[in-house]
Amino acid sequence: MRAFAYEEPRTLAEAGALMARPGRNQLLAGGTDLLVRLKRREWTVDTVINLKRIAGLRGVEARGDHVFVGPLTTLDELAASELVAKRWPILVETVHEMGSPQVRAMSTAGGNLCNASPAADLAPPLLCLDATMKVWGLRGERHVPLREFFLGPGKTALEPGEILTEIRIPPALAKGCFIKFCTRRAMDLAFVSVACAAVGKDVRLALGAVAPTPIRVLPSVEEAMKRCAPIDDVRASAEYRREMVRVLVRRALARVAS
Amino acid sequence: MKLRLSMRVNGNAVELEIEPHRTLLEVLRNDLGLAGVREGCSTGDCGACTVLVNGKPLVSCLMLAPDAEGASIVTIEGLAKDGKLDPMQEAFVAKGAIQCGFCTPGMILAAKTEDIPEGNLCRCTGYTKIQEAIREERRTTRPQA
């Protein structure tokens, strides 16, 4: 990696001030994406701002009308949370499809979402759970529904200087499934991913890796086929992905209905 | 600019000055001479650089060294006690689960907490013997499990 300056702010205000300085400033959470990009020289940065010394950005807990998931919660902590396991087994199932145990112990929930990969595994189930992103900035706090958070590959609704401080999930229990379609059982990216969850009688469906962002779609095969717009790449052809959307959505809907 | 880094490595307090863009892998290997920490892919995919950080296996190639401030690190060099190999190391030797030996340190450290390591590649493809060694270790040291 090329040399960079390094900062460990203790508060959001300190982090905000650091991000406002000139130069290319990059936030560090788990580092499992950032370090790979820096090593490959896909990104160059002047300053890395490590968020891990800021209190209150990690952990899972019930708070009034929602469940708080700190963005710095690691994937293995998310899956080990009893609260999550009881309400949303779909999230536990999803985490177990991600990376490897070593990577899950480092990668964070917030990092997975803020990288805005079209194939981000946490996105489809959290879209089904109607998650909201609480965002802090020097001009104040705001809430962004996850459905409006992803703007394109690598692009989110975060403005320069804003920091994700909370992933809020409405507390309703959900029964669901996450299907990640890929060639290997660990350390792989999805060709297509499908999350389907029933919250009460409300069936919800979301897709990953088949559009510029993860997308929530109406729960039917026809709607999924209409909305998906996959590309050809090294992993699979667009045509094959479309066919897999048809198969996997049918399968996911059947699984949730049973 | 250099930063001061304090951590425990294999039970010993270590203090050193590092550049912030160094990974934990580089500091362990190059500054502390712990060559059992292997650099394979260096992008977190192969698991060869696995070390225990506060008891959990992590890939040290994707951990920025300053992030290890205050942490307790165990590398393969720290497993043997009083000149005796750790039971997992013994099992790997007994079952011939070591071919070229490159993946072995990471594989053994990952096997300390995982049933069968999921995030470690063996390019000799000696997986069968590795699985046998891990099962053997479980059978002999944790008969109740």
pLDDT single digits (tens) A60-92: 999 999 999 999 999 999 999 999 999 999 999
C-alpha distance across the termini of chain B, in Å: 50
Neighbouring-strand partners of residue A48 = A6, A26
H or E element that contains A156: strand A155-156
Whether B118 sits inside 8 A of A105 (CB atoms) is no
Flag whether pLDDT at A187 surpasses 80. Answer: no
In chain B the domains, ranked by start, together with CATH numbers, are 3-140 (3.10.20.30)
Q: Across the interface, do A39 and B43 touch by the CB < 8 Å criterion?
A: yes
B110 neighbourhood in chain A, CB within 8 Å: 101-102
- Considering only alpha carbons, which residue of chain B is nearest residue A102? B58
Sort out which chain B residues have CB atoms less than 8 A from A50's CB and list them.
Answer: 64, 66-67
Average pLDDT of span A144-162? 97
The predicted structure's pLDDT at residue A183: 80
A3 chain-B contacts, CB cut-off 8 A? 19-21
- pLDDT confidence bin for A182, thresholds 50/70/90: confident
Is residue B21 within 8 angstroms of chain A, CB to CB? yes
3-state secondary structure of A99: coil
Residue A25 φ then ψ, to 5° = -105, 135
SS3 A26: strand
Q: Give the tokens for residue A65.
A: 């009308």
**Mean pLDDT within B39-61:** 97
Give the residue-averaged pLDDT of B49-64.
98
Range scoring the smallest mean pLDDT among A127-141, A160-174, B108-122: B108-122
Sign of the CA dihedral with A58 first, then A123, A199, and A78 last? negative
For A37, A94, A154, A209, B7, the CA distances from A190, given in Å and listed in that order, are 19, 12, 16, 7, 37
* Mean of pLDDT over chain B: 95
**Residue B145 pLDDT more than 60?**
no
Q: Which residues of B touch A48 (CB under 8 A)?
A: 20-21, 64
The pLDDT value given to residue B143 = 62
Q: What is the mean pLDDT of residues A1-18?
A: 97
Out of B3, B23, B110, name the one closest to residue A102 (CB): B110
Q: Which residue has better confidence, B35 or A236?
A: B35
What is the structure's pLDDT at A184? 78
Residue whose C-alpha is closest to residue A111's, from A1, A229, A32: A32
Closest-CA residue of chain A to B48 = A102
* Cβ neighbours of B4 (radius 10 Å): 10
DSSP string, chain B: --EEEEEEETTEEEEEEE-TT-BHHHIIIIIS--TTS--SSSSSSS-TTEEEETTEEEEGGGSBGGGGTT-EEE-GGGT-BTTB--HHHHHHHHTT--SS-SSHHHHHHHHTTSSS-SS---TT--HHHHHHHHHHHHHHH-TT-
Domains annotated for chain A, with CATH where assigned, are 5-50 (3.30.43.10), 60-169 (3.30.465.10), 175-257 (3.30.390.50)
Residues whose CB is less than 8 angstroms from the CB of residue A101 and which lie 6 or more positions away in sequence, other chains included: A76, B57, B110, B113, B114, B117, B118, B119
Q: Please tell me if residue B119 touches chain A, with a CB cutoff of 8 Å.
A: yes
Mean pLDDT calculated for residue range B34-42: 97
Predicted confidence (pLDDT) per residue in A33-61, tens digit: 999 999 999 999 999 999 999 999 999 99
Query: What band does B144 get if pLDDT is binned at 50, 70 and 90?
Result: low
Tell me the average pLDDT of chain A: 96
Beta-carbon neighbour count of residue B15 at 10 Å?
Answer: 8
Tokens of B12: 């010993």
Handedness of CA B20, B23, B24, B28 (dihedral sign): negative
Task: Band the pLDDT of A234: cuts 50, 70, 90.
Answer: confident
Q: Across residues A106-121, what is the average pLDDT?
A: 97
Q: Is A243 on the interface with B (CB under 8 A)?
A: no
Amino acid identity, position A8: E
Q: Which of A54, A21, A50, A20 is nearest to A35 (CA)?
A: A50
Averaged pLDDT, A89-97: 96
Predicted local confidence at residue A189, as pLDDT: 84
pLDDT at A127 over 90: yes
Nearest CA in chain A to B22: A1
pLDDT at B133: 96
pLDDT at B113: 87
Whether residue A5 and residue B61 make contact (CB cut-off 8 A), yes or no, is: no
On whether any CB of chain B is under 8 Å from the CB of A52, the answer is: yes
